[in-house]
Copies of this chain bind each other. A is one copy, B any other.
Amino acid sequence: MSIPRSNITVGFLIFPGITQLDMTGPFEVLSRMQNARPLLIGKDRSPVSDRGLILTPTHDFLLTESLDILVVPGGPGVDEAMLDQATVKFVREKAEEARYVLGICTGSLLLAAAGLLIGRRAGGHWQARDLLARFGVDVSNERTTIDGKYFTAGGVTAGIDMALRVIAEIEGEDAAMRVQLQIEYAPEPLFAAGTPYEAPAHIVDSLLSMHRARRQSRETAVEKACESLLDGKTAPSLCDKHAT
């Protein structure tokens, strides 16, 4: 796919309850592309915050131009975003026009809720990716998953890996290596604890129990988003409560 080198517009969705590194990680990488034009897009111009880090949109849903790349981060606020019709509509429209669509962490749930991932292979944060199946997604447990123009990544830090893959696609391997070296991305994780498969069982269990309430409210949100998608007749075979 060739995008004119003169201008690559990259839109990063931001919303209340965002997990900031889902966005700022890919932002650091993608904004280093030649002639990248990064936009932070909120529903309106109100700043949003994550644990005290304030993010201010540069654009809002009135944006008319097409994006070359749409980046949809995740966070606890995805539950509300999935149920907000203006957000779902904006994501659907901009994703359909875009050449590349990134879903980071639970951002892929928002893409799925917009009906964009039906029949596609996609991943997300390990604590939520099973829920993608409710939207007709073929769930991937990989850190980065590419299906057509949909690039979905696992939790939070996986967005950095994914963004480098996007540069490699658009500008080639040398460009991706240059950015990787600029940001000195030669990680040395302190423990082998970054996935539920390698982390000690008591660590996995403690997170699952710590997040039980959030998981339940997320399941409820997914069911509602599913019904809403069904109402739109976008995916009549989805969300059948009697299905396994």
**Which residues of A come within 8 Å of B, CB atoms?**
19-21, 24-25, 27-28, 31-32, 36-40, 47, 51-56, 58, 105, 125-126, 143-144, 154-158, 160-161, 164-165, 168, 173-174, 176-178, 180-196, 198-200, 202-204, 206-207
Say whether A203 contacts B181, CB under 8 Å.
yes
A102 vs B192: C-alpha distance in the bound complex, in angstroms? 23
Beta-carbon nearest neighbor of A54 in chain B: B56
List, in ascending order, chain B residues with CB within 8 A of A37's CB.
52
A206 vs B179: C-alpha distance in the bound complex, in angstroms? 11
Apart from A155-B182, A156-B184: 16 A-B pairs, beta carbons within 8 A: A21-B24, A27-B53, A31-B52, A31-B53, A125-B184, A126-B184, A144-B188, A154-B184, A155-B184, A161-B188, A161-B189, A178-B203, A181-B193, A184-B194, A186-B189, A187-B194
Copy number of this protein in the oligomer? 2
List, in ascending order, chain B residues with CB within 8 A of A178's CB.
203, 206-207
